[in-house]
Chain A
Amino acid sequence: MDLKLKVWRQKDSASKGKFEIYNAPNINPHMSFLEMLDVINEDLIHANQDPIAFDHDCREGICGACSLTVDGKPHGPEKGTTACQLHMRHFKHGNTITVEPWRAKAFPVIKDLIVDRSAFDRIIESGGYVSVNTGSAPEANMSPVPKHAADSAMDSAACIGCGACVAACPNASGMLFVAAKVSQLALLPQGQVEREKRVLSMVRTMDDENFGNCTNHYECEAACPKEISVGFIAKMNREYLRASLCDSGSAGNTKDAVN
């Protein structure tokens, strides 16, 4: 099939970007979306033009690198699918497909479709872990975990950190990402000791990173390739309130939260 692509091109973070139109003739419906971009890039290189830069790595929907907004939807039209797992059979001959980067102040564009998602790393750094040094762990079966809690923790832990939640949110909020990690660790006995400090510290970092606020549109859940539930956002709100009520005033200090 023949397609037209309208792609966001931006030289670097300092430049202004604009849309360019490219023809994509003879696209095989079994191709993935990224393979289609590979083909276009090969043509661009032959034509002495700069190929379209986009983040990608595993191409099996788990690394979370790919980050394309396809026709106004992060990761494209298929539910629970990353852009690398999106196949061209879902498009029709003659379609014009718009491809944009994630758009959020917290995710500045680096080049073309590549954005800087290091804000997510900084949120995890501020408390998204159990502070256990290597070697100090007790025998694994010492503390049983109810199966439903383990399953629920796994549901939230499935997050791949791609940022589609932020890209989809009308407010560019990072709540689903933060909620997924907060919930995972709050559900498990291993996460209890730092439970209050963790949520206060991670929410503070999230606020400092220029994300918007959650106003409960639930677009994040709809766009999430791992279909993580907004129920975890409610859980984080609960965790946050609980922690704030127990807080003596020092737990919100991020340095204290890990020392």
Chain B
Amino acid sequence: MTLDARVPAGLLHEKWDNHKFNMKLVSPANKRKYKVIVVGTGLAGASAAASLAELGYQVDSFCFQDSPRRAHSIAAQGGINAAKNYPNDGDSIRRLFYDTIKGGDFRAREENVYRLAQISNSIIDQCVAQGVPFAREYSGYLANRSFGGSQVSRTFYARGQTGQQLLLGAYQALARAIHLKQVTMYPRTEMLDLVVVDGAAKGIIVRDLITGQIRRHAADAVVLATGGYGNAFYLSTNAKGCNVTATYRAYKRGAFFANPCYTQIHPTCIPVSGDYQSKLTLMSESLRNDGRIWVPKQKGDKRPPQEIPEAERDYYLERKYPSYGNLAPRDISSRSAKEVCDEGRGVGETGLGVYLDFADAIKRLGESVIRERYSNLIQMYEKITGENPYKVPMRIYPAVHYTMGGLWVDYNLMSNLPGLYVLGEANFSDHGANRLGASALMQGLADGYFILPYTIGDYLARTKPGVISASHPEFLKIETEVKDQINRLLSINGKRTVDDFHRQIGKLLWDYCGMARNELGLKQALAQIPGIRKEFWSNVKVSGSNESLNQSLEKAGRVADFIDFAELLCLDALQRAESCGGHFRTESQTSEGEAKRDDTKFCYVSAWEYQGADCSPRLNQEPLSFENVHLAERSYK
């Protein structure tokens, strides 16, 4: 099936304005008759819930954390992009659009990306008005810094805690709506299934994580803002609770899953130190502004870094990509790090690490400037490793960080299931095959503050409110299925823990579907996954009962979905026999080892359609056409 993204007609820069005019509106008096469910309270979810509530809709908001303020958007460090062009350095909406399309290796939908760039400026206005304490110049005006994949300074930041500050802004807007009783908040509540009635999304089934109660919630539309699936790899920079369950269950109910193989491996994370490791910690990419990345020229050089003379160091990013240097995009930086480590030139005990060295910047700017710019990041590194980066270069290694893939959505951010909207990292829309730094925050907030509030109205205006209640037979049926799965998990009482299975599936994905992929490896992975699934469902050990707070049970449901999802991820990676962005197929590279796209065969979005537990999913395609940019080989040299 060829998918229609329902992109409005007209010139690129007029599409969104035209569309806003052409969409139907719900009158102010009628808005309160509609109920909207928003799952997730990160940047996209909190901003959407607050904005919808301000418009007058009844909103039910759900998060699995103890408070909406803890969603993982909070951990974003570096910043948020916008085309304000305050530094007067040549930025524009068109340039932000172009950088994002090119950064995504020409695998994103042009119109969505252009709209994102258009909206970017309003986001900064909104956040400043909320009291987000962005960094400022001595003049009192907003400060900007540069970021990977761009040659202009367009990143707004709040020290190394930009995500936290933006999320707290959205959380506070949500708190205000809760106080005004426009939003009903359900914390410590996890969505376990989507209810689709007559083809349209009409509600969700949730579990109260304190009492274990399974509840049905009906609404006129359902918004998923449930984040990415990076934790499928077990070790990632995601929070421990991040999971694919909401989007995967929606996929099983008919929503298409797009481009799951587009996973981003972030180049600057603290290397793994042992088997017990539960997560990886990201060091903001902004460190690459002042840090130089290098490894010894010689294989197996075990000398301490200070003793390696300048002439025997290989600043490989500066060597290979002279114009972008250490600011090369994430996928390229990550792959280069893997290459030098595969050559045996990696550093640290495991040999899986490269140096990020501030010595030159300290010499040039002084330690106090570096401290002012990065002190919280450097402290974090010190706490974890016990090493002092002002004296010894940091050791970094790539880690799974962000997932560009997600549920397929049209221009209105609605999935193929009417009434199901997907925002932020949970959708696939704007980053193509690779996301540029400081663009995730931009997309999450654009979706929640400025796109969904318009587009959902167009759907609701054509829908009669409150027709389906939570006692509809479909709700009861799905509630029973959810309960059955929980009982099944609790009754297996096998020998291996949930974490044990999670580590196993994660390692399999990292080995065969990580930074570099090939047909043979992916086929091996696909051959192994059914066995892991079978063993999980016969040998997993979940302690406790449903009727209480049970973290083991929570994890079990999530890992069961990760195992199923891993198969879809590998299948997509196998099917896409080209390299693009974060998806690198070793069979498809240039003579210099760079990713080689195949625009004749793969210039489309892969949207997978669930066909049942025992059948392969069906591939639907949304062709990508580029009318406003030239489809070029991505070069950062």
Are A and B in contact, CB atoms below 8 Å, in the complex? Answer: yes
Specify which chain B residues have a CB less than 8 angstroms from the CB of A131 in the assembled complex: 176
In the complex, what's the smallest C-beta–C-beta distance from B61 to chain A, in angstroms?
12
* Residue B356 is within 8 A (CB to CB) of chain A in the complex: no
Q: How far is the CB of A100 from chain B (nearest CB, A)?
A: 18
- Judge if B140 is at the interface, Cβ distance under 8 Å: yes
Alpha-carbon gap, A69 to B128, bound state (A): 36
From known contacts A130-B131, A150-B133, infer whether A61 and B126 are also in contact, taking CB-CB under 8 Å: no
- Select one of B175, B240, B277, B543 contacting A129, CB under 8 A: B175
Find out whether the CB atom of A53 lies under 8 angstroms from the CB atom of B128. no
Asked if A190 and B499 make an inter-chain contact with CB atoms under 8 angstroms apart, the answer reads no
Interface residues in B102-141 (C-beta closer than 8 Å to A): 121-122, 124-131, 133-141
Instruction: Evaluate contact between A160 and B164: CB separation under 8 angstroms.
Output: yes
Is A188 positioned at the interface, with any CB of B under 8 Å from its CB?
Answer: yes
Q: What is the CA–CA distance of A121 and B179 in the complex, to the nearest angstrom? A: 10
Contact with B along A159-176 (1 / 0, CB 8 A): 011000000000000000
Is there a chain B Cβ closer than 8 Å to A153's Cβ?
Answer: yes
A residues near B276, Cβ cutoff 8 Å: 28, 31, 35, 38-39
Residues of chain B with a CB closer than 8 A to A125's CB:
175-176, 178-179
Known: A110-B549, A124-B171. Is A140-B133 also a contact (CB below 8 A)? no
Contacts of B130 in A (CB 8 A): 129-130, 132, 137, 190
B161 proximal to A (CB < 8 A): yes
Q: Decide yes or no whether B51 CB sits under 8 A from chain A.
A: yes
**A to B CB contacts below 8 Å, 16 in the list:** A31-B276, A32-B278, A46-B497, A53-B551, A57-B72, A60-B75, A63-B239, A111-B549, A129-B172, A134-B453, A137-B126, A137-B130, A140-B142, A144-B141, A147-B137, A254-B179
B70 contacts across to A, CB distance below 8 A: 57-58, 63-65, 161
Given A65-B70, A130-B129, A190-B130, A87-B210 contact (CB < 8 Å): no
| Residues in chain A near residue B172, CB distance under 8 A | 124, 128-130
Residues of B within 8 A of A78 (CB): 383
In whole angstroms, what is the CA distance A161 to B165 when docked?
A: 12
Query: Is B304 an interface residue when CB atoms closer than 8 A count as contact?
Result: no
B531 at the interface (CB under 8 A from A): no
Whether A134 lies near B133 (C-beta < 8 A) is no
Of A112-120, A210-218, A234-242, the segment with at least 4 beta carbons within 8 Å of chain B is A112-120
Query: Which of B54, B136, B142, B180 has the most A CB atoms < 10 Å from its CB?
Result: B136
A4 within 8 A of B: no
B230 to A: closest C-beta gap in Å: 13
Count chain A CB atoms within 10 A of each CB in B75, B165, B179, B277 and give the residue with the most: B179
Closest to A80 in B: B379
Knowing A129-B173, A132-B129 are in contact, say whether A42-B386 is a contact too (CB < 8 A). no
Among residues 538 to 566 in chain B, which have CB atoms less than 8 Å away from a CB atom of chain A?
A: 541, 543-544, 548-549, 551-552
Establish whether residues A150 and B134, one from each chain, have CB atoms under 8 Å apart when the complex forms: yes
Name the CB-closest residue of A to B76: A62
Question: Would you call the interface of chain A mostly helix, strand, loop, or mixed?
Answer: loop
Give the CA-CA distance A118 to B126 in the complex, in Å. 27
On chain A, the number of residues with a Cβ less than 8 Å from chain B's Cβ atoms is 82
CB pair B175 A158 closer than 8 Å:
no
Further pairs besides A121-B69, A124-B172, A158-B164: 12, Cβ < 8 Å: A31-B276, A60-B75, A64-B70, A65-B65, A110-B210, A118-B187, A120-B67, A129-B175, A130-B172, A139-B125, A144-B140, A157-B158
Which of A28, A53, A135: most chain B Cβ within 10 A?
A: A135
Instruction: Report the count of interface residues on B (CB-CB < 8 A).
Output: 82
> Is the C-beta of A179 less than 8 angstroms from some C-beta in chain B?
no
Tell yes or no: B380 within 8 A of A by CB: yes
- Given the interface contacts A28-B274, A117-B66, A147-B138, does A51 sit within 8 Å of B551 by beta carbon? yes
* B74: interface (CB < 8 Å): yes
Residues of A within 8 A of B (CB): 11-12, 28, 30-32, 34-35, 38-39, 42, 44-46, 48-51, 53, 55-65, 78, 80-81, 85-87, 89, 110-111, 114, 116-118, 120-121, 124-126, 128-141, 144-147, 150-151, 153-154, 157-158, 160-161, 184-185, 188, 190-191, 254, 258-259
Across-interface contacts of A129 in B (CB, < 8 A):
130-131, 172-173, 175-176
Contact across chains for A58 and B165 when beta carbons are under 8 A apart = no
Contact A138/B129 with A31-B274, A35-B277, A60-B380 known, Cβ cut-off 8 Å: yes
Find the A residue at minimum CB distance from B385. Answer: A30
Task: Determine the chain A residues whose CB is within 8 A of the CB of B65 once the complex forms.
Answer: 57, 63, 65
Q: Which residues of B contact A140 (CB under 8 A)?
A: 84, 121, 124-125, 127-129, 142
With a CB–CB cut-off of 8 A, which chain B residues contact A50? Answer: 543-544
Q: Is B315 an interface residue (CB 8 A)?
A: no
- The answer to whether B168 has its CB under 8 Å from any CB of chain A is yes
Q: Does B507 contact A (CB under 8 A)?
A: no
Residue B483 at the A interface, CB < 8 A? no
> What per-residue 1/0 map shows which CB atoms of B467-502 lie under 8 Å from chain A?
000000000000000000000000000000101100
| Closest chain B residue, CB of each to CB of A185 | B131
Instruction: Determine how close the nearest CB of chain A comes to the CB of B544; give it in whole angstroms.
Output: 6
Query: Known: A62-B74, A65-B70, A116-B66. Contact between A45 and B131, CB under 8 A?
Result: no
Is B72 touching A134 in the complex (CB atoms < 8 A)?
no
Instruction: For the complex formed, measure the closest distance between the CB of B515 and the CB atoms of chain A, giving whole angstroms.
Output: 22
Interfacial chain B residues near A85, Cβ < 8 Å:
380, 383-384
Residues of B near A153 (CB, < 8 A) are 131, 133
Nearest chain A residue, comparing its CB with the CB of B275: A28
CB pair A114–B549 under 8 Å, yes or no, is yes
Return the chain A residue nearest B165 by Cβ.
A157
Distance between B216 CB and nearest chain A CB, rounded to angstroms: 23
Given A50-B543, A118-B66, A124-B172, also A145-B140 (CB < 8 A):
yes
1/0 per residue B79-101: CB within 8 Å of A? 00000101000000000000000
User: Chain A residues near B450 (CB, 8 Å)?
Assistant: 134-135
B163 closest partner in A (C-beta): A62
B579 CB–A CB distance under 8 Å: no
In the bound complex, residues from chain B placing their C-beta under 8 Å from that of A190 are 128-131
CB neighbours of A135 from chain B (8 A) = 122, 126, 449-450
Which chain A residues border B249 with CB–CB below 8 Å?
none
In the bound complex, residues from chain B placing their C-beta under 8 Å from that of A46 are 497, 541
Of the candidates B67, B133, B237, the one whose C-beta lies within 8 Å of that of A117 is B67
Residue ID in chain A nearest B552 by CB atoms:
A51
Docked pose: A141 CA to B127 CA in angstroms? 12
A241 to B116, CA, bound (A): 45
Asked if B300 is at the interface of the complex by the 8 Å CB criterion, the answer is no
A154 and B273 in contact, given A78-B383, A129-B172 (Cβ under 8 angstroms)? no
Q: Does B279 contact A (CB under 8 A)?
A: yes
- Could you say which of B140, B158, B187 contacts A146, with CB atoms under 8 Å apart? B140
Tell me, yes or no, whether B281 is within 8 Å of chain A by CB.
yes
**Please, what's the 1-or-0 string for B130-171, where 1 marks a CB less than 8 Å from any CB in chain A?**
110111111111100000000000000011010011001001
Q: Which residues of chain B come closer than 8 Å to A59, judged between CB atoms?
A: 239-240, 278-279, 281
Q: Which residues of B contact A39 (CB under 8 A)?
A: 276
CA distance A184 to B65 in the complex (A): 25
With a CB–CB cut-off of 8 A, which chain A residues contact B164? 62, 158, 160
Q: Of B54, B121, B122, B543, which is in contact with the most chain A CB atoms at under 10 Å from its CB? A: B543
Residues of A near B165 (CB, < 8 A) are: 154, 157
Closest B residue to A49 by CB, please name it: B543
Q: Which residue of B69, B121, B158, B282 is within 8 Å of A161 (Cβ)?
A: B69
**How far, in whole Å, are A50 and B65 apart by their CA atoms in the complex?**
21
Contact status A45-B497, CB under 8 Å? yes
Knowing A12-B549, A30-B274, say if A63 contacts B74 (CB, 8 Å): yes
Q: Does A147 contact B125, Cβ atoms closer than 8 Å?
A: no
- Residues of chain B within 8 A (CB-CB) of A55 are 66
Interfacial chain B residues near A80, Cβ < 8 Å: 379
Most chain A beta-carbon contacts within 10 A, residue among B137, B172, B453? B172
